A and B are shown apart, each in its own frame.
Chain A
Amino acid sequence: MIDAAAEREALALLDRGDRRAALVLLLDRYGVAILGYCVRVLRDDVLAQDVQQVVFLEVHRDLPTFRRESSLWTWISRIAHNRCMDAATRRRREQQRTVSIDDDDAAELPASADPSPASSAERARWLQALERCLARLSEPVRATVLMKYQLGHTFDEMSAAVGERAGTLQVRVSRALPILRRCLERAGVAL
C-alpha cells in the first residue's frame, strides 16, 4: 500500500515549502484507501466522508511538523484510525447503543449451493459475505483487521499507528479471524 516514490516526492515538496502540493499528492495516492478504511470501520458512507475530510485537514495542518520517524502512510493511517474511533465513539454516545457482533445474524446471509469460488460472480458473493461478516465485528476489532489486511500494515506499524502494543493487536486479529471464518461458513462460503 505504501508508495515510496510518492512519499519521497511529497517530502521533497514539503522541503520546498509547497505544503498544498504535498497534500494534493497524498490525497491522490492515499485518499481513496483512507475513505475505504473509514467506510468499512464506520459502516456509514456520509460519516466516513466527513472523517476523511477531517483526516486530510489534519494532515495538511500538521505536515510541517511531520517528524519523519515513520512513513507518511503510517502517519496518515494513525490519524485516520484515531478520527474513525472518535467518530464511532461519538456515534455510540448519540445512539445510546452498542454494536452487536452476535454471529447468529450470520444466518441472514444468502447461502450458495456451490461454496467454491468457481466464477467471478461467486467470488463477488464471497466478498459480499465477508463485508457482512466484518460488519458484525466491533469497531475496534474491525479497524484492527482492516488496518492489517486492507491498509497492509505490519503489527509494528499498527502499534505505532494506534498506540497499542503489537502483542495486543496480534491477539485481536488472531481472535477475529476464526470469527470471520465461522461467519463465512454459515453464509455458505467454505474457505
Chain B
Amino acid sequence: MTTRGDDGAGTPPPVGTGGDADADADAAWLLARARGEDAPPPHPDTAATYQRLEGLLAELPPVTPPPGWRDAILRRVDEDDARAAAASAQRRARARRRAWFAAGPALAMIAVVVIFVGLRPPSRDVGGPRVGYAITAGDGRPRGDGPVALGERLAVTARLPAEGALRIYRDDRVLVAECPARAPVAAGAAVCTERREGKVTVHVATLRLDAPGRYRVVLLIGAAPPSTGRYDDDVAAAPAAGVTLRAPDAPLPATFDVR
C-alpha cells in the first residue's frame, strides 16, 4: 500500500509520476481546457477520450436509498426541534417567573392547564414523570411571549415509565395526540417520537396548532386504557383503575389557549 501526499493544492500527483509523461500531458491539457484556454490536445483522440470519461462520470447510477430514509430524517428533525423548543421554553420560563413579580396581573391572563393522571404511582427508579413543553413560531424559530397564535407549533417532551403515555386534547373534546401512537387522533395531528433512556421512555409530541381552543396535556402512568377521545370520559374511566391526580413538581411554562 502506498500513500500519496498532497501537493500545495491538496492534490495527489498522478499515478506513476516521474515516468508518466502521457498522464502529465493529459493533465496539462485538461487544466488548460478548464481555464478556457485554447490549447491543442496532446493526441488527436484526447478530447474525445476525456469527453467519454466525463460522460461516464455523469452517468453513474443514482444510489438507492434505504426504505424509510425520508421519515428517519424527519424524525430526527422533530427530535431536534423538540430539544430546541424545550431549551427555549426553559429560558422563557425563567424570564416569565422574573416577569411575574414585576407584572403579575398581566400574566394572569395565561392559563396553564397541565394535569398529571396517574393510574398508579410511578416506580421510584424512574424518578417520576417529567414534562416540558414549548411553543415556537411556525418556522421553528423562538417566539415572543404574546398570545399563542394559529399556525404555531407545540412540542411536548415527557419522560415516562415504559407503560406511560402522553395525550393532548383540544377543548377536552378532541384527542389530537397520543404518544406512543395508539388511538385514532384528529387529522393533521401530532408527530410522535420516542427514545429509551435507561428505564424511562422520552416521548416527544410535535403538533401544529391549526385549530383554536384550549390544549390540555395529560400524562398517563401505567397501562392506560384506550382513549375515548374525550378528556372527561377518559378521566372518568380512570378512578376504576385507581387514578391519582398530582400537580406537577415544577412550574411549567406557557399556555395552550390558542386564538
Contact = CB atoms under 8 A, between A and B. Distances in A.
B68 to A, nearest CB: 11
Contacts of B72: 53
B106 interface: no
A8 to B, nearest CB: 18
Contact of B11 (A19, A35, A40, A175): A175
A127 B59 contact: yes
Contacts of B12: 101, 137-138, 141, 175
Contacts of A145: 57
A11 interface: no
Interface stretch (A57-65, A67-75, A76-84): A57-65
Contact of A19 (B2, B30, B139): B139
Contacts of B49: 181, 191
Contact of B30 (A64, A149, A174, A183): A174
Contacts of B141: 64
10 contacts: A19-B139, A31-B73, A32-B63, A53-B72, A60-B77, A101-B12, A103-B16, A150-B57, A178-B30, A182-B23
Interface of A: 14, 17-20, 23-24, 27-28, 31-33, 35-36, 39-40, 45, 49, 52-53, 56-57, 60-61, 63-64, 98-103, 126-127, 130-131, 137-138, 140-141, 145-146, 148-150, 152, 155, 164, 167-168, 170-184, 191
Interface of B: 1-4, 6, 9-16, 20, 22-24, 26-28, 30-31, 34-35, 49-50, 52-54, 56-63, 65-66, 69-70, 72-74, 76-77, 80, 137-141, 151
